[in-house]
Amino acid sequence: MRRYAPPGRAWYALRRTLPPWSWERNLDELLRFCREARIDEVIVKVDTEEFSHGQVPLDWLREYLPVLEHIRNALAEIGVTYSLNPWITLGHTDRGRDSRKAFPDMQMMVGHDGAECKACACPLCETWRTHTTQLWRLYASTRPAVMWVEDDIRTFNHLPVRYGCFCPLHLKAFSDRIGRRVTREELVEALLAPGEPHPWRARWLELQGDIMVDVVANLAWVVQETSPETRMGLMSSGPDLHCLEGRRWWEFARALQGQADHLLSRPPLGIYSENSLRDFYYGGASIRKTRRALPPGAIELTEVENYPFSTFSKSVALTAMQMALSSALGCHGVTLNLFDHLGNPMVNSAEFGRMLHEEKDYLTALASRSSPEAKFAGIGILQHERASVTKHLRPGADYGELADDGGAWAPLLEAMGFAVTWDWENAPVLALSGQTVRAFGDGEVERMLERGVLCDLQAAQALIDRGYGRYLGVKIAKRGLIHDLGPVAAEEFFDPEFGGEPQRYLSATLPSLSSDLEVGVLELAPGARALSRLVDCDRQVVAPLMTVFVNELGGRVAVLPYDLGGLWMMAGFVQPFRREQLHAVLKWLARGPLPLFVLAGGYALPTRAEEPGFSRVTVFNLSLDPWQDTRILLSANGRQCQRVEFLDESGQWVPVPAEQWRTTEDGCLCIVHPQPLTYRRPGAWCVFWKP
């Protein structure tokens, strides 16, 4: 197959719509833009957004096919790759469309609450499958390098349907599986039953997973039968949400890949409109979580999107940061959805083109040291595609609460300078939150508890429910909202061995200005030790908080009995006192230096990746304040440093003077960066180890 997005360079794939009424002038501008902005690929979007017809009429597409062929040929003449991105598969939302008029036999999506779509189809519907097969055969006839499947290939977020599909076809298929007729109301009640999951939940998610594997296998077959050289691409919505529909990632990916050598993946980065630099935590996690979920070998092009377009929506600087994040985390390139799909000229936002041209050399230098095969090192975070199957729900839970909730520690730890990883198997410490640990087998859980584990309230409860309470060193006497405990004032960090001292207080109300945070009142087992406690307005003890314990397996466990998934305001939790305590606790859990700790101003996004012969460290400053004298501390694992290189502003890897790095007594490599580090570009270092 044709070589595509070679590793070690920045690959730009522009997503662009050329509407039927303006495609000729749009194409002239597009060809100029590709040359000037150094675009490698154009992903043509079809029947897009505001001018979408809903379910695409076959006659409309037949008339538009010559336009697509003309675009493909024109791009080929200037050496730019042509790919195709139909805007819908099932349909995103109705947006006032009613495709039932054109397709009266098409079954539309039905929600768990009975809501019905008018333009978003049910994936079991044979009318939809036949129509989509015809459409995709026509799309494939234009021989695109990649055919992208949009993130509407899911059962949730098809407004007015929030969670589907509970149409008659799905209910019949499920009834056939369990051997009796089931109504929508019965099924939803069983799926959301509190406590121990109802057996139907696993069967329902299995059915949904089976249906979607069958759907994407057919899409791949149709495309590759028509155009054998075409690869398939998948836009996804993140593993946490796809749990809701029982996605079995490896099986799903293999089915969609078809006969091609690679599948393409487009993980979401969020920040469609600019708000806060803190939103970067979502994108950094999304890249790593999606990569973890997929089989090895996928080509990754992240979703850099500006909606509703122009610099009024998102700045050029923030867009460049997202591109740098993609290169730093080993992605092959970026897809760029920067301009509207209404036929308006791109010159209206010419700033983006200039930025793309100027940044490419820097991004290529960053990508040259960043491979997708590298394993990230840090505090381990769990995810599991069966988390929705095993989750215990509260009475009256919303359907969305079935989502995987195992990542709450990740942005909190990163903000305080601790690198995290979803490659958790070799992590010295695991940070457990939510109920994801319920999805793991007994042997896996016991191996976790043999090393260092940090638990929030929900994770501790899940382990206790499974019979592992004696390994935690605590019992949960009761749970409730923090202000139900009385006039709680502050958390006191009193233990000097773990970053505390008497009367060192942190507000207990800041995390819950909008709503109370749930907390557990712990009873400590013999040998357990409290490091902090809640106190009232007279400084009297209300309840212990952070505890540490060495269990009978030899593992070390710390419990902080906050439900971190319910934390409303990050700034109330990530504080200098908290960072100091957690640094000591995590080192104690790890029995030595941490994989990576960055001591700098507030809101870091640090990563460490292990490449052959060197470790790559990148640090994003997600605050507006420049950092001075940033300190990078990474475990050497018994190795000696040979040299350190830093990526400078011009995109050159330059040696770091020997006086700026040293090995500490506890086996850390400490790098001091004396120059200001701003949000504009990440700090990037390569540490080469002696053979």
Nearest Cα residue to 567 out of 444, 457, 689: 457
pLDDT tens-digit profile of 515-562? 578 999 999 999 999 999 999 999 999 999 999 999 999 999 999 999
Domain ranges in the chain are 1-87+267-372, 376-591, 598-689
Nearest Cα residue to 85 out of 95, 98, 71: 71
Mean pLDDT of 85-109: 96
The angle subtended at Cα 494 by Cα 493 and Cα 500, nearest 5°, is 65
- What is the spatial distance between Cα 369 and Cα 367, in angstroms, rounded to a whole number? 5
Map tokens 């089931």 to a residue.
Answer: 182
pTM above 0.85, yes or no: yes
Mean pLDDT of 429-451: 97
Residue 566's pLDDT is what? 86
Helices (H), 404-497: 409-415, 442-449, 457-465
- What is the spatial distance between Cα 430 and Cα 381, in angstroms, rounded to a whole number? 6
**Across-strand partners of 407?**
none
Cβ-count burial of 524 within 10 angstroms (0-12 exposed, 13-18 middle, 19+ buried)? middle
Q: Which two tokens stand for residue 418?
A: 């601790």
pLDDT tens-digit profile of 176-200? 999 999 999 999 999 999 999 999 9
What CATH topology corresponds to 598-689?
A: Immunoglobulin-like (2.60.40)
**Across-strand partners of 533?**
492, 544
Q: Which two tokens stand for residue 444?
A: 């896996």
597 backbone dihedrals φ, ψ, rounded to 5°: -135, 130
pLDDT tens-digit profile of 348-380? 888 999 999 999 999 999 999 999 899 999 999
Check whether the bond before 657 is cis (ω within 30° of 0).
no
Mean pLDDT of 106-113: 98
Q: Are 260 and 230 in contact (CB under 8 A)?
A: yes
Helices (H), 262-349: 280-293, 316-328
> Cβ–Cβ contacts within 10 Å for residue 480, how many?
12
Q: Is the pLDDT of residue 512 over 60?
A: no
What CATH topology corresponds to 1-87+267-372?
A: TIM Barrel (3.20.20)
Q: Which two tokens stand for residue 187?
A: 């099924």
Mean pLDDT of 441-457: 97
- What is the spatial distance between Cα 201 and Cα 181, in angstroms, rounded to a whole number? 16
Dihedral, CA atoms, 100, 101, 104, 108, nearest 10 degrees?
0
What is the DSSP annotation of 49-105?
Answer: GGG--SSPPHHHHHHHHHHHHHHHHHHHHTT-EEEEEES-SS-S--TT--TTTT-TT
Q: Is the pLDDT of residue 492 over 90?
A: yes
Q: Is the pLDDT of residue 112 over 70?
A: yes
Percent of the chain residues topping a pLDDT of 90: 90
Q: List all residues 6 or more positions away from 419 whose beta carbon is below 8 Å from its beta carbon.
A: 376, 377, 378, 379, 594, 595, 596, 597, 598, 606, 607, 608
313 falls in which pLDDT band (50, 70, 90)? very high
Mean pLDDT of 66-75: 98
Check whether the bond before 160 is cis (ω within 30° of 0).
yes
Q: How many helices (H) and strands (E) does the chain have?
A: 16, 35
Give the pairing of strands 116-121 and 108-110. Answer: antiparallel
- What is the spatial distance between Cα 242 and Cα 400, in angstroms, rounded to a whole number? 11
Q: Which two tokens stand for residue 687?
A: 């540490």
> Domain 376-591 - what CATH class?
alpha beta
Residue 514's pLDDT is what? 45
Q: List all residues 6 or more positions away from 411 whose beta carbon is below 8 Å from its beta carbon.
A: 278, 281, 282, 285, 570
| Cα dihedral across residues 250, 251, 256, 260: positive or negative | positive
Radius of gyration, CA atoms only, the chain: 26
Q: Are 166 and 184 in contact (CB under 8 A)?
A: yes
- What is the spatial distance between Cα 640 and Cα 377, in angstroms, rounded to a whole number? 18
